[in-house]
Amino acid sequence: MIISSISMKNFQCYSGEHESNTLHFSDGLNLIIGDNGGGKSKLYDAFYWVIHNQVFQSDQRQMINTRIYKDNLISDKAKADCQIGDTVSAEVTLIVTSTGDKKYKLERIFKATKLADREWEADTDSTMLISEFLHTKWNLLPSAKYSHIINRVIPGHIKPYMWFQGEQVDSLMDLADSTALSQVVNLLSDISDYDDLISIATNGASRANKELKKHKSTISSDEAKSKSLNTQLESCDNNIDKLNNQIDVCDQQIETAKLKVEELISKVDDAEAKAKYKSKKKVLKDEYNSLEKQLLNANNNSSKGLFRKHWVLKNISPFFKKFDDKYKRYTIKHNEKVNAGKANEIKLPLNMPRPVHVEQMIEDESCYVCGRSAPKGSEAHEHIISLIKREPAKDIFENDFSNEFESLYNNNLRYGVAIDGIDESIKNNFKNIIDIKNRLTKTANEIKEIDSQFDILIEEDKSEDILGSYKQHTENKEKFDRNKTKLLRELEIALKEKEDIQSKIDNLVTGEIDKVKEAADFIFSNLEKLAKSTKQHVFESIISELEEFSNEIFKDMTEKNASIKGQIKFKKLANGVYIPEIVDSDGYIINSPNDSNIILVKLALIMAILTARAKWSDNYSLISDAPTSKMAENYTFGFYKTLSNRFKQSIVTTYDFLEDDRKEALNKFNIGKVYQIEPSSPAGDSDNRSDLSVNIREVLL
Partner 1 sequence: MISLQEKFGNLKPGYMQKYKDFIDQVAQFGGGAEGDKYTQAKSFSNTYELYIYAFFIGLYNDKRIDITDEDKLTSFWEMKNWKPEELTNSLLTCAIAVSDFDMNSIEEKDNDFISKQIRLVKSEIEAFANGGLELIKSEIDQDPELLEDDMYFIKLLST
| List of residues contacting partner 1 (CB under 8 A) | 296, 299-300, 302-303, 305-308, 310-316, 319-320, 322-323, 325-327, 330, 333-334, 397-402, 404-405, 407-409, 411-412, 414-415, 426, 429-430, 433
- What is the closest distance, in whole angstroms, from the C-beta atom of residue 554 to partner 1 in the complex? 37
CB 361 → partner 1: shortest distance, Å? 30
Whether the CB-CB separation of 568 and 545 falls below 8 Å is answered with no
Closest separation in Å from C-beta 289 to partner 1: 16
293 or 462: CB nearest partner 1: 293
Query: Residues 569-601, buried b or exposed e (16+ Cβ, 10 A)?
Result: bbbebebebbbbbbeeeeebbbeebeebbbbbb
- Minimum CB–partner distance for residue 310 and partner 1 (Å): 7
Least distance (Å) between residue 317 CB and partner 1: 11
Nearer to partner 1, 308 or 372 (CB): 308
> What is the rounded CA–CA span in Å between residue 412 and residue 321?
9
CB-based contact 112:121 (threshold 8 Å): yes
- What is the smallest separation between the CB atom of 496 and partner 1, expressed in angstroms? 10
How many Å apart are CA 505 and CA 237, to the nearest integer? 15
Q: Is 626 helix (H, G, I), strand (E, B) or coil?
A: coil
Burial environment of residue 95 by CB neighbours within 10 A (0 to 12, 13 to 18, 19 or more)? buried
| Residue with Cβ nearer partner 1 (350 or 665) | 350
| Number of other CB atoms surrounding residue 689 within 10 Å | 17
235 and 497 Cβ atoms separated by less than 8 Å: no
DSSP for 593-604, please give it: --HHHHHHHHHH
**Residue 279 or 485 having the CB closest to partner 1:** 485
Residue 176: phi, psi to the nearest 5?
-85, -10
- Cα Rg of the chain, angstroms: 43
Q: How far is the CB of 489 from partner 1 (least distance, A)?
A: 13
Please count the other Cβ atoms lying within 10 Å of the Cβ belonging to residue 282. 13
When the beta carbons of 290 and 541 are compared against partner 1, the nearer one is 290
The phi-psi region of residue 115 (left if phi > 0; otherwise alpha if psi is between -120 and 50; otherwise beta) is alpha
Q: How far apart are CA 387 and CA 178, in angstroms?
A: 87
Q: For residues 5 and 18, is the Cβ–Cβ distance under 8 A?
A: no
Nearer to partner 1, 146 or 327 (CB): 327
Q: Is the dihedral of CA 267, 269, 274, 275 positive or negative?
A: positive
* Contact in structure between 5 and 23 (CB atoms under 8 Å): yes
Residue number, 222 or 325, with CB nearest to partner 1: 325
Alpha-carbon distance of 69 to 214, in angstroms, equals: 65
Any idea how long the chain is? 701
Comparing C-alpha atoms, which of 575, 532, 535 is closest to residue 205? Answer: 532
Of residues 372 and 414, the one with the C-beta less far from partner 1: 414
Name which of 85, 63, 64, 86 is nearest 10 in CA terms: 86
Nearest residue (CB) to partner 1, 395 versus 687: 395
Smaller CB separation from partner 1, 319 or 368: 319
Least separation, in Å, of the C-beta of 188 and partner 1?
Answer: 35
- Smallest gap from residue 415 Cβ to partner 1 (A): 6
Smallest gap from Cβ 324 to partner 1, in A, equals: 8
Contact criterion met (CB below 8 Å) for 79 and 71: yes
Q: With respect to partner 1, which residue has the nearer C-beta, 325 or 382?
A: 325
Minimum CB separation of residue 622 from partner 1 in Å reads 47
691, 685 in Cβ contact below 8 A? yes
Give least dist CB 52 to partner 1, A. Answer: 54
Pairing assessment for the beta strands 54-57 and 693-698 based on DSSP bridges: unpaired
DSSP state of 685: -
At residue 654's C-alpha, the angle toward residues 152 and 660, to 5°, is 130
Rank residues 507 and 592 by Cβ distance to partner 1 and give the closer one: 507
**HSE (CB half, 13 Å, CA atoms) of 651?**
22
372 versus 394: smaller Cβ distance to partner 1: 394
Min. distance of Cβ 617 from partner 1 in angstroms? 43
Pairing of strands 567-572, 578-583: antiparallel
